[in-house]
């Protein structure tokens, strides 16, 4: 069965065909580790986990690379403002290296809580500055850069395909935003030009030597350098949130393809926002809701994972949260429903002996129906609805490698209670009566067993017992 994916670059669903048969290289934009990830951020990482799991479910050998941005991401994605790591260091009175390691560890812990598989490679930007400098030198040698007193820029006027990832209207809006951004370098030649290397920042703690002076890399060059180091100059899939399309991912394409003269990524995939009410959840808006806050409020983190399965990754997910007076805990009706449903599901999957799809033909038909939805651009809402319709423990378990609801440890098969000695003695007397063909006595003994709360049945292997 073919797997189809929506490609942001072509604006269509396409049959997925990797560069190398059976193998997939996948890069996902990771966190900037200056604060805790909020559950809006984590919706994107959940989508990427579901995508990687779907690819593996279809038999692909996936290499998943996700970067850790620990330098160079300004408070504006368009290079304006202050480095987010510096902002956090001042906020918490620590150095940026301490900030980075603390919030990186917190991020990895949140992945574990949500049963998101750790990426195969998790490179830090600060440990790949050499690769970024080398890529910038390639661009410089090919005439795509210029230098100002503020740093080294990519000249977008030299790239005829610049902005091809986004619709024309979005590209125009991006350039307007670049003109209006604060702290814009007056020597910048064009509104869309972006920084490859920051210089003239003597107060910045994180600095490296480079051909363009002491400084630090721009955010966009980090992802190009790290993705190409681990996956090659062209690879299969690049993911991120939809907010990465107009600036970050657009700039990645421009610098990567200009440097290599090769297509950078074949399939671009983006997840929609989690909205608080009707607004995007964002740290800058003071609306951070973390996994820890969910736990403190009595929610299982996998209830949030289950909730995210209810909306397609390209559709916004509305979420309403009411904080309690303590300001640390709260409630969400959608999470209440998700948690209750998930607990019922664990109970249902525990009862594997009661499966409506015992017939192999019926099971295969249902399996292929669910797989069809899954392989249609990861249509999990339809897949999950179909799983609920069939209500088959076996089918739920079969697709848990994608769903990640942890049935293996959460939904334990029911273990029959050992019968007490007096019940076993009655069963043995009944068996002797049956062998003597004293069926009236055998029937009377069966009723005595039933009165003690047990049900005895006959099989070719002998009598069986289970709780009534």
Q: Is 115 helix (H, G, I), strand (E, B) or coil?
A: coil
Least Cα distance to 131 among 222, 195, 197 occurs for 222
Which residues have a Cβ under 8 Å from the Cβ of 233 and sit 6 or more positions away? Answer: 256, 260, 262, 264
Q: Which pLDDT does position 327 carry in this prediction?
A: 87
- Reading the chain (468 residues) residue by residue, the pLDDT tens digits are 899 999 999 999 999 999 999 999 999 999 999 999 999 999 999 999 999 999 999 999 999 999 999 987 877 776 767 788 888 888 888 888 899 999 999 999 999 999 999 999 999 999 999 999 999 999 999 999 999 999 999 999 999 999 999 875 455 555 444 444 445 788 999 999 999 999 988 888 899 999 999 999 999 999 999 999 999 999 999 999 999 999 999 999 999 999 999 999 999 999 999 998 756 665 554 558 999 999 999 999 999 999 999 999 999 999 999 999 998 899 999 999 999 999 999 999 988 878 899 899 999 999 999 999 999 999 999 999 999 999 999 999 999 999 999 999 888 765 556 788 888 888 888 988 888 888 888 888 888 888 888 888 876 557 878 776
> How far is Cα 42 from Cα 108, in angstroms, rounded to an integer?
11
> How far is Cα 317 from Cα 22, in angstroms, rounded to an integer?
33
DSSP state of 66: E
Residues 432-466: tens digit of each pLDDT: 888 888 888 888 888 888 888 888 887 655 787 87
The CATH number given to 4-271 is: 3.40.50.620
Q: Which pLDDT does position 176 carry in this prediction?
A: 42
Write down the residue that tokens 């190009």 correspond to: 224
Least Cα distance to 62 among 29, 25, 116, 20 occurs for 25
Contact 215, 200 (CB under 8 A): yes
Write down the residue that tokens 């690879």 correspond to: 235
Which residues have a Cβ under 8 Å from the Cβ of 122 and sit 6 or more positions away? Answer: 30, 65, 66, 67, 68, 108
Q: Which pLDDT does position 242 carry in this prediction?
A: 96
Contact 146, 238 (CB under 8 A): no
Token readout for 372 is 């069809």
pTM (2 decimals)? 0.85
Token readout for 131 is 């690769």
Write down the residue that tokens 């999957």 correspond to: 349
Q: Which pLDDT does position 179 carry in this prediction?
A: 42
> How far is Cα 77 from Cα 79, in angstroms, rounded to an integer?
6
Least Cα distance to 258 among 136, 151, 86 occurs for 136
Number of Cβ atoms within 10 Å of the Cβ of 395? 21
Alpha helices, DSSP H only, in 31-146? 39-57, 84-92, 96-113, 129-141
């Amino acid at each position: 069965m073919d797997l189809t994916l929506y490609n942001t670059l072509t604006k269509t669903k396409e049959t997925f065909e990797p560069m190398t048969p059976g193998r997939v290289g996948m890069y996902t934009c990771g966190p900037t580790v200056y604060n805790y990830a909020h559950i809006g951020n984590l919706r994107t990482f959940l989508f990427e986990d579901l995508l990687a799991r779907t690819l593996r479910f279809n038999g692909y050998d996936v290499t998943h690379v996700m970067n850790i941005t620990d330098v160079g991401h300004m408070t504006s994605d368009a290079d304006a403002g202050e480095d987010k790591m510096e902002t956090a260091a001042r906020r918490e009175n620590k150095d940026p290296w301490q900030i980075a390691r603390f919030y990186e560890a917190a991020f990895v812990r949140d992945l574990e809580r949500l049963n998101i598989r750790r990426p195969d490679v998790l490179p830090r930007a600060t440990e790949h500055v050499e690769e970024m400098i080398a890529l910038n030198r390639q661009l410089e040698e090919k005439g795509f850069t210029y230098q100002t007193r503020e740093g080294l820029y990519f000249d977008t006027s030299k790239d005829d395909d610049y902005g091809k990832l986004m619709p024309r209207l979005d590209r125009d809006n991006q350039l307007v935003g670049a003109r209006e951004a604060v702290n814009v370098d007056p020597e910048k030649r064009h509104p869309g030009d972006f920084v490859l290397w920051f210089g003239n920042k003597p107060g910045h703690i994180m600095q490296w030597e480079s051909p363009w002076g002491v400084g630090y890399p721009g955010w966009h060059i980090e992802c190009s350098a790290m993705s190409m180091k681990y996956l090659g100059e062209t690879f299969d899939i690049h993911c991120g949130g939809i907010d990465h399309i107009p600036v970050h991912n657009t700039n990645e394409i421009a610098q990567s393809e200009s440097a290599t003269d090769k297509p950078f990524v074949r399939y671009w995939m983006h997840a929609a926002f989690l909205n608080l009410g009707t607004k995007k959840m964002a740290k800058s808006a003071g609306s951070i809701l973390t996994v820890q806050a969910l736990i403190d409020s009595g929610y299982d983190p996998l209830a949030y994972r289950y909730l995210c399965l209810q909306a397609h990754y390209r559709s916004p997910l509305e979420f309403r949260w009411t904080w309690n007076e303590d300001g640390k805990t709260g409630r969400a009706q959608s999470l209440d429903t998700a948690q209750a449903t998930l607990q019922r599901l664990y109970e249902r999957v525990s009862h594997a002996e009661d499966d409506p799809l015992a017939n192999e033909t019926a099971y295969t038909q249902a399996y292929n129906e669910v797989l069809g939805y899954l392989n249609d651009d990861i249509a999990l809402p339809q897949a999950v609805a179909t799983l609920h319709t069939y209500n088959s423990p076996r089918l739920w378990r079969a697709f848990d490698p994608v769903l990640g609801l942890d049935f293996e440890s959460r939904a334990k098969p029911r273990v029959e209670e050992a019968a007490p000695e007096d019940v076993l003695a009655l069963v043995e007397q009944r068996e002797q009566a049956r062998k003597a063909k004293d069926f009236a006595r055998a029937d009377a003994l069966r009723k005595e067993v039933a009165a003690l709360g047990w049900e005895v049945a006959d099989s070719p292997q002998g009598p069986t017992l289970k709780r009534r």
